[in-house]
Amino acid sequence: MLRLYKYMSQDVALKFISNPVLRVTPRWALNDPFECKLANTTNEQLNSLNGSDDLNIHFESFMGLHGIVSLSETPDNLLMWSHYAQEHKGAVVEFFIDETDPLSIFNISKCPISSDAKLGKVNYRKRRNYPFNVDAESLEPIRTHYYLTKSDEWIYEKEHRFIIPATEANYMKSEKCSKYNYDENGLALIGSSLGASEQLQLWKDSKETGAMFFASVNPKKIGRFIIGCDADLELYKTAMIEAEHSYPYRSFADSISNKFRGVEISKLHSERFELFFEPLNTEIHSI
């Protein structure tokens, strides 16, 4: 069993409590402009396979029909808390990953074999090129290389990535797509109501519309919920109590035992530049 962690801002973490979803991000919406872009040497090697000058374009287009869900190996990285958990006001959520079936963390259908759906550990390098022989048998390994390779300046993130086909996103959030029905969290259910072609078009259009896509999480795969050391603790406790009956398989508040379950608070070490975590022991009915 692999344990991985998602750093979240306060707003995202509070919404996750009542509706556990993770964002599936297209490459053009990520914070690194090098994401999934082939090096010139790889472009030339690909195009030489069939004597064309556009195989690399089709290659990148196919990769663009997949999104990324980023997780980290560790829950106590100070930079990650500052960058991705709203300066320690957010939270970190732990996930249990079945390495024989990693996609079971999501409530998604069986992905088609032709897709690039997978979980992989990010490799950090100086150079972008695919370092092995390029031939007709290496097309999938090349795509995997570019999904999972980043500059070594990002190594502190210790990232693992899910590669998810665009058609497997369950929800969408967009201020410009008004014809869909949005819930109290601003999410529209699309996974079961749209055809694949319409969903792919929404995905492609998100370059202009700014639409965001999300995959629903299997609540049985959720572990600890770690609240930041500078967070408004009352906000989180209230959200957990209100959401107790939303997901019976992973409720963070248990009114029967009068306790919070699997909830921890991040604390500052008194001597070292480190964080440590303590259980949230507040009784529910005393709030």
Tell me if 286 is assigned to some domain. no
3-state secondary structure of 85: coil
Tell me if 233 is assigned to some domain. no
- CA 150 from chain centre, in angstroms, equals 16
Tell me whether residue 285 is exposed, middle or buried, using C-beta atoms within 10 angstroms of its C-beta: 0 to 12, 13 to 18, 19 or more.
exposed
Picking from 227, 206, 232, 214, the residue whose alpha carbon sits closest to that of residue 19 is 214
pLDDT of residue 114: 67
Tell me if 237 is assigned to some domain. no
Q: How far is CA 61 from CA 25, 40, 56, 104, 147, in A?
A: 15, 16, 9, 26, 13
Average pLDDT over residues 209-230: 96
Tell me if 88 is assigned to some domain. no
Q: Indicate whether this model's pTM tops 0.75.
A: yes
Tell me if 262 is assigned to some domain. no
Tell me if 215 is assigned to some domain. yes
| pLDDT, the chain, mean | 92
CA distance 207 to 210: 6
Average pLDDT over residues 167-189: 88
CA distance 11 to 23: 13
Tell me if 105 is assigned to some domain. yes
Tell me if 212 is assigned to some domain. yes
In the chain, % of residues over pLDDT 70 = 97
Range of the domain at 58: 21-74+98-219
Tell me whether residue 83 is exposed, middle or buried, using C-beta atoms within 10 angstroms of its C-beta: 0 to 12, 13 to 18, 19 or more.
middle
How many independent structural domains does the chain possess?
1
